[in-house]
């Protein structure tokens, strides 16, 4: 599991983390809550401080697919 999302180890996210923590606010998500839906314009960014976050999509056949996870419930959000 150490290299589940290998890009996370190659990118320095400290700049974005600092912006979220200094200028954002804490937002809590429960299971089934959405950050953004397909076809919506993304107007916010965030940093996951604890818990996990699942990236998912619905394919052409209507099947729900998990396409990625972020492991680290608490969310700093900037809108």
Question: Phi/psi at 63 (nearest 5 deg)?
Answer: -85, 135
pLDDT for position 76: 47
Q: What is the pLDDT along the chain (79 residues), one digit of tens a residue?
A: 455 556 666 777 788 888 888 998 888 888 888 888 878 888 888 888 777 778 788 889 999 888 777 776 444 444 4
Q: Which domain holds residue 59?
A: 7-78
Please say whether the beta carbons of 49 and 75 come within 8 A: yes
Question: Looking at the domain assignment, is residue 2 inside a domain?
Answer: no
DSSP letter for each residue of the chain: -TTSSTHHHHS--HHHHHHHHHH-EEEE--TT--S--TTSPP--EEEEEESEEEEEEE-TTS-EEEEEEEE--EEEEE-
Question: Looking at the domain assignment, is residue 1 inside a domain?
Answer: no
pLDDT for position 5: 58
Q: What's the structural domain count of the chain?
A: 1
């Amino acid at each position: 599991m150490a290299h589940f999302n290998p890009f996370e180890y190659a990118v320095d996210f400290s700049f974005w983390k600092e912006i979220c923590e200094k200028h954002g606010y804490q937002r809590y998500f429960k299971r089934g809550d959405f950050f953004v839906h397909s076809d919506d314009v993304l107007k916010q960014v965030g940093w996951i401080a604890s818990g996990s976050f699942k990236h998912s999509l619905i394919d052409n056949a209507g099947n729900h697919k998990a396409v990625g996870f972020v492991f680290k419930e608490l969310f700093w959000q900037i809108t």
